[in-house]
Amino acid sequence: MARTLRRLTPAQGALPILVLWVLPLAASMLMLLPAIAEPDAWRQLQSHPQLWSALVLSLATGGGASVLALLMSVLVLAGLDRSRALPQLQALAAAGLALPHLAFAIGFGFLIMPTGLIARLIEGGATPPPWVTVQDSWGLSLMLALALKELPFLLIAALAALARGDGTGHLTQERRVAASLGHGAGSVWLRVVLPQLLPSLRWPLVIVFVYGATVVDMALVLGPTQPPTLAVVIWHALNHADAAVNGMGLAMTLLLTSVLAALVATTLLLLQVTLPRLRHWLCAGPSLLAAPRGMAVVTGTMAGLLMLAAILLLALLSVTPRWPYPALMPPAVTFAAWTTLGSSAAPLWLSLLLAATTALAALGLALLWFETQPEGRDRWLIGLALATLALPQLAVAGGQYRLFLGLGLTGTLPGLFLAHLTPVAAYVLIILQGPYRAFDSRYMMVARSLSVPASTAWLRVKLSLLRAPVLTAAAIGFAVSMAQFVPAQLVAAGRYSTLPMEAVTLSAGGNRPLTAAFALCLAAPPLAAFLAASLLGRPRWR
Amino acid sequence: METTGMTFTLTRRGLIQLLAATPLAGRARAGEVWDGIVAEARGQTVYFNAWAGSPQINAYIAWVGEALQRRHDIRLEHVKLADTAEAVRRVRDEVTAGRAGSADLLWINGENFRVMKAEKLLFGPFAEDLPNFALVDIAGKPTTRIDFAEATAGLESPWGMAQLTFFADGAKLPTPPLSMPELLELARSAPGRITYPAPPDFHGTTFIKQALAETMADRALLPVQIDRQAFTEAAKPLFEFLDALHPELWRHGKQFPQTQAQMTQMLADGELLVGLTFNPNEPANLVATGTLPSSTIAWQNRGGTIGNTHFVAIPVNSTARQAAQVTANFLLSPEAQARKADLAIWGDPTVLDMAKLTPEDRALFTSAAAPGSVTQPAPAIPEPHGSWVPLIEAAWLERYGA
């Protein structure tokens, strides 16, 4: 494969991703322009009384959640550095990552709301306490839930970057050098590991921020309403039957996306300027700072327990039609929700097929790009990928539907495949770019100098050393595909049904057992994928 | 292609009317035309795009599919939707692109219908030519022909009735509030336990319409077009009422639940005292599925509550119009309507006139009182004219939104 890769010109290497991903995506976005050009859309936007407060709320919840998630993941990684608990941590993080956002929001909500489990345990009177725990005006519960839900994502991304075969070797040596200079374990991590880890985490962090600032389903469960986050206002507007209201929604989308892009660009620029100035701090010392093991254990356990509690509560809620306050156990149990869910298996198979094919295809496209293109071109692709994730699915889906309709792709399997590939490839590119580009090319040189053919060297040296990030990216792609709803539903035009389509349409009525059962069901295949990735990706040479 | 099909049908409709004008022959010839539609419908597949948030409703639609397959050789595919507006956008895009339709039948009413009618996205008129339409209670239930103050003009066929209904646990609330002022009193005596969903949620908007209807000086204004100035005048008592109500609500009226479903869950969990719904039989249904206790009571405000009808319509680019019409006709049959009204199946009130049914058909509607059903139905107040809704929502948002 590598020989063929080498023979490919950059143009040939870029062609597949351009045709299958960039063009459809760009064309879908162009389809939205006429509606955005309507002056009426902008007039409606300006007169919307919630616009600015909703925008501030979106940025605050997304930003706060990202900072909180980063702090927690740094604490956990530094504290559990080289501990025996790391593999378990990875499994736990995989479980947390596989759980759909909405599912976690429901489980977490049932823990903290005034009629939730905690209130039942510590208050337990005849009427629930007047707690303001969910839907608080500041969006704090939403922010906390987002941070907890994104923690596994950052951990998985960081662990994949740290487990890179080519990196572990010199990292170990550098650690030894730092330790012999008298640095404590915590200081070694801060000064040696973190600076090498952060560049790989840059795009995952941006994803976390963008996702948090644009999420709809979690905000509907945990977020405030007066005002709601801007994403929720946009969601209502885009959902409307009236094309004029859709236009206002698109204008708001453009506003939110531009603000997010400007913020991300400014932050990255600021970091580029300020980080080199911190270099003197890296050389300072030695410091005896110990690894924050205690705090890491507390943070990790708390997050893990909350995640676990959310999953267990979901399982209970899925068999409990009614569980009134202040009962500590549900009064009756029925498996009606699971029966409804089990009545048809076709959507599950189609979902698995789409998830597997799109994850593999996205991986192939990404590797082809990285192998044939200079690194400088990545930023266009990553920018487009981030735009895909930042734009509300409803908006992109509308443009994509119009495009596919013209091409005769609606209601067909190829159309459905492409609709899934769009977000999957975006995630795979973003996750893989950091670790793949950071590969130490001297390993390849060594292999080639030992007269190993290029293809063998690529497969057995580069791919083998990069196994952890490659498999993690594939698993994340698989999970992303398993969560697709809006674009897929439109493009499928009722001719095909996937598991998320069944799940979302059936939970539109707010039936909690059904929603909980589907959420658990949707979490199972990605969980299997993440566990497989972490097992197969474990370095062989340790 | 769409246009030729429509002209053909319009001609056929003209033919029916022409024939109907000639006494005696009319009825028989119209029957022949209908027989032709039924014959053409054989072997067609109807993609029925319908909201799918309730397992009971989905099971009912599956039953309809089996019956149609058996009797008319029609395959019914339920395209499950989370929001009907999605199908509206899909049809609009298809028609703009000149493509054949992916939807043959839509479950629709209100805003979605108004938009589709205005943009000429619907096939018809067909509804009033359906044989079973003769059984519809058009006099007693005028909303079967007027959808949110918009004339249906035969572009949609009535399917079921809806009316704003409140419910609560009778063990906690033995005497329910039967008017908005009584609800205010209740909120004052139980602060923080009453609320309603935030508009633009459909149920939230309906609650405000109900408050408007109960507080306004002249209800005759509701069915007519209104401008901003007249609205401000007419809605003054409404906002006085809401200003008084909000401080007593859940979270002092600073936050509201996002949806009716969330409110129902909060009621079931014990956080709220009163829930609301548009399906008068939903509370009884929720008792049957175990979501609500058997002590649940349901009521409609004494002076009447906002009521409407939901319909099925055929998109103009449907490729199975004949089968879609046969399906719409079957949905209107006493057998299908009685099954739908059955509390154990779905509990959706019928659009038919009992007086027009044969005694055998009437006997199908056995409505035994079940826990949670409405004991004293109140008259339906028709939905206000469509021009009220954007004004209500904007004014509400302005006052309480940020």
CATH of the domain at A456: 1.10.3720.10
Whether B212 is covered by a domain: the verdict is yes
Whether B344 is covered by a domain: the verdict is yes
What's the pLDDT band for B8 if we cut at 50, 70, 90?
very low
* Residues A57-85, mean pLDDT to the nearest whole number: 91
Same-domain pairing of B118 and B260: no
Whether B369 is covered by a domain: the verdict is no
Chain B touched by A42 (CB under 8 Å): no
Write the residue in A228, A241, A490 that is nearest to B111 by C-beta.
A241
What backbone phi and psi angles, to 5 degrees, belong to A149?
-70, -30
Q: In this structure, what CATH number is given to the domain that contains residue B13?
A: 3.40.190.10
Same-domain pairing of B198 and B334: no
Same-domain pairing of B153 and B60: yes
Per the listing, tokens 């298809």 go with B94
Same-domain pairing of B119 and B236: no
A/B interface, count of CB pairs below 8 Å: 159
Residue B9 has pLDDT above 50, yes or no: no
pLDDT digits (tens, 9 = 90+) for B273-293: 999 999 998 999 899 888 999
Same-domain pairing of B104 and B197: no
Cβ contacts of B266 on chain A, cutoff 8 Å: 115
Same-domain pairing of B98 and B77: yes
Chain A touched by B89 (CB under 8 Å): yes
Which residue in chain A has the smallest CA separation from B116?
A: A241
CB contact under 8 A, A411 and B102: yes
Question: C-alpha angle A310/A233/A243, rounded to 5°?
Answer: 130
Chain B touched by A128 (CB under 8 Å): yes
Question: Contact, B79 vs B47, CB < 8 A?
Answer: yes
> What is the side-by-side strand order in the sheet with B274-277?
B274-277, B165-169, B296-299
Whether A103 is covered by a domain: the verdict is no
Whether B373 is covered by a domain: the verdict is no
pLDDT computed for residue A188 by the predictor: 86
Residue B326 has pLDDT above 90, yes or no: yes
Chain B touched by A509 (CB under 8 Å): yes
Q: Which residues of A440-471 are buried (b: 16+ CB within 10 A; e: fewer)?
A: beebbeebeeeebebeebbeebbebbbbbbbb
Write the residue in B49, B255, B401 that is nearest to A494 by C-beta.
B49
Parent domain of B42: 2-162+308-364
Percent of chain A whose predicted confidence (pLDDT) is above 70: 97
What is the least distance, in Å, from the CA of B93 to any CA of chain A? 6
- How many structural domains compose chain A? 1
Question: Contact, A368 vs A5, CB < 8 A?
Answer: yes
Whether A501 is covered by a domain: the verdict is yes
Whether A291 is covered by a domain: the verdict is no
Question: Contact, A466 vs A166, CB < 8 A?
Answer: yes
Residue B2 has pLDDT above 50, yes or no: no
Q: Which long-range contacts (CB under 8 A, 24 or more apart) does A454-460 make?
A: A454/A2, A454/A3, A454/A6, A455/A1, A455/A2, A455/A3, A455/A4, A456/A2, A457/A2, A458/A1, A458/A2, A458/A5, A458/A371, A459/A1, A459/A2
In A279-308, the residues whose Cβ lies within 8 Å of chain B are: none
What is the widest separation between alpha-carbon atoms in chain B? 67
CB contact under 8 A, A246 and B115: no
Chain A touched by B192 (CB under 8 Å): yes
What's the pLDDT band for B256 if we cut at 50, 70, 90?
very high
Whether A18 is covered by a domain: the verdict is yes
* Residues A432-445, mean pLDDT to the nearest whole number: 81
Same-domain pairing of B300 and B317: no
* Residues A144-161, mean pLDDT to the nearest whole number: 91
CB contact under 8 A, A135 and B255: yes
pTM, entire model: 0.88
- How many structural domains compose chain B? 2
Quick count: other Cβ atoms within 10 Å of Cβ B360? 8
Same-domain pairing of B14 and B127: yes
Whether A439 is covered by a domain: the verdict is yes
pLDDT computed for residue B10 by the predictor: 47
CB contact under 8 A, A225 and B83: no
pLDDT digits (tens, 9 = 90+) for A358-390: 999 999 999 999 988 888 888 888 888 888 887
